[in-house]
A and B are shown apart, each in its own frame.
Chain A
Amino acid sequence: MTANVISLDGLKVASRDDLSKAIEDKGCESSACGSSDGPSDMAPEIWEKVKDHPCYSEEAHHYFARMHVAVAPACNIQCNYCNRKYDCANESRPGVVSERLDPEQAARKVIAVANEVPQLSVLGIAGPGDSAYDWRKTKETFDLVYKQLPDIKLCLSTNGLALPDHVDDLLEMNIDHVTLTINMIDPEVGTKIYPWIFYQHKRHTGLEASKILHERQMQSLDLLAERGILVKVNSVMIPGINDKHLLEVNKVVKEKGAFLHNIMPLISAPEHGTVFGLEGQRGPTAAELKELQDACAGGANLMRHCRQCRADAVGLLGEDRGQEFTMDLVPEEVSYDPAKREAYREWVAGERMDRRAAAEVAKGETTATVAEDAKAMLVAVATKGGGRINQHFGHATEFQVFEVDADGVRFVTHRRADNYCVGGYGEDDKLDEVIRTLEGVPVILCAKIGDCPREALEAAGIEAIDDYAFDYIETAVSAVFRARNGLPAEEAVSA
């Protein structure tokens, strides 16, 4: 404990100038460090594709926003976790939308959003049916948007059954991100998830349906990999049905070149009207999900920041501004003004370099003052984006959870505190919900917090800290870790 302890004095870094100086002094060793070329453990051409895509890069999701347009309502398979008939504006889950758009309306909406939301970098089509099956509408929408907004990333999400028929179109249209939902690689498992598929003018059921779906999904993976299109695989974790099996899925999709694997918890409740909901099939607990994700982590880039957004979501992940851009609010004629997005991108380029530099400094300080084997801890953060602690506790509807140890600060997951209409029962209930949400997390960092919630959290064993308001997440989380693990300043000895 003494060998790597140095004085805490003089390690406080307050300004950008100090940061730059500190970086020069210490040099830079981390794989995730600082240049615009991106992390050294990622090929530059891949980084170029993902650096502004909030769904493909955890770092990007602090800065960039996506929008989905619901132009593809028709689907070619039935999943037991999906029922597209019901919509509740308060609930956020895949497959759900409030209004369906035709391609011309959708394109207008995209331009209107691009003018108002400078963070917008990605347009995705995720249904509410299947974007590759309802291909004519998907393609027409992308074509219309691309004409006016050629620098927006186009992206689609599909079950893969119809995708092999359209891969050449994807290349022509510059679509370089595709998400495939793959819940099984064993058709026997599939029979418990998919009651039927519609393929080549026929409804197939039972094992036959899952066999066809599986073959087409594997074919999709191969075709996309051959063409250099980045693939994210989404899997819904269904306890007792495919939870253990997803380890094998992870292995196979990784072998087949998937860039990212996103394991999501089943969302299931009777009021959703889904087969699973009505049967009482439960979703996994946060602990079960993390256990599976950790078991997969060796072989794959695992996505942990997914918010399971709606098929018409607008905004940064975790916020949905869809209600600000319903069709009745979108002008009849709208032309694109690039000024806001360009200015924002310039600001982000500087900001994200600063943040990486700050994270390096924080890591260096931690390494210097905390024993290597100090136990990792979890810290929750209230943030509105930008990688900073900049949200008032009372305004937070979700918390990002980071893990910190001597190796640095890592994003682990987000925890929502507004799940499924819990609002509206009064502030006390909301606070109880937040406390439940933060189970196992001893510290919450926010920009500001009132005395009442602070005391309630304290009573539940959670320390709320607002001393790091507007600091970078890594800087603040590291400081908390050091305060809890490093020697107090007066006891420290100079090296």
Chain B
Amino acid sequence: MSLKIIVSQCTVCGACEFECPNAAIKFKNDTYVIDPALCTECEGSYDSPQCAEVCPVPDTCVPA
């Protein structure tokens, strides 16, 4: 279980990288990418996935 970022919609603001409790989000090739091996969908940390909560573009951090 993990989330992914829809690259075509991403504004590359980096808020998700900043909020991710697992350091699962990295800036690669001009965009942000979620490492599925590290993503926990924030279970055990927060009520909801932080990247999706903070992302300014609707439906851009979505279940993989």
Most buried by A among B12, B18, B47, B56: B56
* Assembled-state Cα–Cα distance A280/B50 (Å): 32
Q: Verify B18–A74 contact, CB threshold 8 A.
A: yes
Interface residues of B in 5-25 (CB under 8 A from A): 11-15, 18-19
Q: Verify A202–B56 contact, CB threshold 8 A.
A: no
* Assembled-state Cα–Cα distance A274/B54 (Å): 18
Q: Give the residues in chain A near B54, CB-CB below 8 Å.
A: 74, 76, 198, 203
Q: Give the residues in chain B near A129, CB-CB below 8 Å.
A: 13, 15
Query: 8 closest pairs, A vs B, by CB?
Result: A74-B15, A73-B13, A203-B53, A198-B54, A74-B13, A85-B11, A74-B14, A201-B46
Most buried by B among A78, A85, A201, A202: A201
* Assembled-state Cα–Cα distance A84/B12 (Å): 10
User: Does B57 have its Cβ within 8 Å of any Cβ on chain A?
Assistant: yes
Q: Mark A129-141, 1 if CB is under 8 A from B, else 0.
A: 1000110100000
Q: Verify B50–A201 contact, CB threshold 8 A.
A: yes
Task: Enumerate 14 A-B pairs (CB-CB under 8 Å) in ascending A order.
Answer: A73-B12, A73-B13, A73-B14, A74-B15, A75-B13, A76-B54, A84-B56, A85-B11, A129-B13, A133-B15, A134-B14, A134-B15, A202-B46, A202-B48
What's the tally of chain A residues with a CB closer than 8 Å to chain B?
16
Q: How far is the CB of A197 from chain B (nearest CB, A)?
A: 10
User: Does A49 have its Cβ within 8 Å of any Cβ on chain B?
Assistant: no
User: Does A100 have its Cβ within 8 Å of any Cβ on chain B?
Assistant: yes
Q: Verify A84–B11 contact, CB threshold 8 A.
A: yes
* Assembled-state Cα–Cα distance A100/B13 (Å): 9
Q: Mark B1-44, 1 if CB is under 8 A from A, else 0.
A: 00000000001111100110000000000000000000000000
Interface residues of A in 61-101 (CB under 8 A from B): 73-76, 78, 84-85, 100
Given A84-B13, A201-B19, check contact A75 B46 (CB 8 Å).
no
Given A201-B46, A201-B50, A202-B47, check contact A85 B15 (CB 8 Å).
no
Q: Verify A78–B56 contact, CB threshold 8 A.
A: yes
* Assembled-state Cα–Cα distance A129/B16 (Å): 13
* Assembled-state Cα–Cα distance A85/B56 (Å): 10
Q: Give the residues in chain B near A198, CB-CB below 8 Å.
A: 15, 19, 53-54
Q: Give the residues in chain A near B12, CB-CB below 8 Å.
A: 73, 100
- Nearest residue in A to B11 (C-beta to C-beta)? A85
Q: Mark A185-217, 1 if CB is under 8 A from B, else 0.
A: 000000000000010011100000000000000
The one of B14, B53, B57 in contact with A85, judged by C-beta atoms closer than 8 angstroms, is: B57
Q: How far is the CB of A345 from chain B (nearest CB, A)?
A: 37
Q: Give the residues in chain B near A201, CB-CB below 8 Å.
A: 19, 46-47, 50, 53
Q: Mark A16-42, 1 if CB is under 8 A from B, else 0.
A: 000000000000000000000000000
Q: Give the residues in chain A near B46, CB-CB below 8 Å.
A: 201-202
Q: Give the residues in chain B near A133, CB-CB below 8 Å.
A: 15
Q: How far is the CB of A273 from chain B (nearest CB, A)?
A: 11
